[in-house]
Amino acid sequence: MKVGDMVPDIKVKDMGGKDVSLKDFKGKKIVLYFYPKDDTPGCTLEACSFRDNYEKIEKLGVKVIGVSADDIESHKKFTAKHKLPFILLSDKEHKLAEAFGVWKQKSFMGKKFFGIERTTFIIDEKGKIIHIFQKVKPQGHAEEVIEALNKF
């Protein structure tokens, strides 16, 4: 996906087990952030940063949605443990991650595997991608997103 593309109509489950499509959020701006794994150091830092800046983002009329390949139970625990006020989507089959081009081959300690590359998309009220943050660094990312949101 690139700036100017419309979001795909792919259904995944939210942490309550409900089917959700990004099209369900038409009329609202969205910060859609893809992250590798619940309750790991970088992902926790990023999620808590969005949590701590949630009110500022919401005042701009924007919804925050996190996506990983973790299952619903993992999302429930992660949300409860860190008091996350936003939706997490379970993309177990990585349909959404693949559609957005963030399901990539990665390597860690000499092992190659596929997983989510930390990426954030800002999506406008019509469902069009208006900004992309690639290879995101968790530290200070929410503030970086707020700065970008203030330009739109």
Catalytic residue IDs = 43
Residue 136 CB-density burial (10 A; 0-12 exposed, 13-18 middle, 19+ buried)? buried
Enumerate residues 6+ apart whose C-beta is below 8 A from 52: 142
Q: Which long-range contacts (CB under 8 A, 24 or more apart) does 53-62 make?
A: 53/142, 53/143, 53/145, 53/146, 54/85, 54/86, 56/146, 57/31, 57/142, 57/145, 57/146, 57/149, 60/29, 60/146, 60/149, 60/150, 61/28, 61/29, 62/28, 62/29, 62/30, 62/31, 62/149
